[in-house]
Amino acid sequence: MILNGIGEIVQHEWLKTPGIRPDMNLTLEEFIVMPNHFHAIINIGKNRYNSFGGIHGINGNHDIRGVDGRDAMHRVSTINTDTNTSINAGNIFGPQSKNIVYIVRGFKSAVSKQVRTDVSYFGWQRRYHDHIIRDKEAHLHIQQYIVNNPQNWQEDRFYTV
């Protein structure tokens, strides 16, 4: 894939992700910037926000239980909370930081800020799709999907000449 200016910004910001969030112990794996979308696998290693690391991605996230009994991905309780009153009543999911949502939000924000200095029409989809990578077979399948994505671009419903 030959990147245009926006694609280069997307790639540059993605590559900066682990350095921006060193406390999360992030490792980037396969990724591809396409003309109208982006695929990536990111490994969130063991850190103070989770009790064991896992492979995550944009098209990938792994169920991680935090040391405080909370899911490090979404910061929701993974234990019986009937007697737990520490969850903020205003947000049943707790604070949205140090998880995949936090990573993606920061990445998309940084790209948007740079791109919008040159063009006004740029915008991300409001949501993104993530996928749990549960085993080596699924990991290999997703890696191959990402690597082969440019060869399948002509079959994309948004493909234009």
Match 């990938």 to its residue by tokens: 60
Distance CA 52, CA 55 (A): 11
DSSP tag of 21: -
Distance CA 20, CA 106 (A): 10
Report pLDDT digits (tens) over 69-114. Answer: 334 444 443 343 444 434 344 556 556 678 888 899 999 999 999 9
The predicted model scores a pTM of 0.71
Report pLDDT digits (tens) over 135-148. Answer: 999 999 999 999 99
Distance CA 79, CA 30 (A): 33
* Superfamily of domain covering 5-62+97-155: Transposase IS200-like (3.30.70.1290)
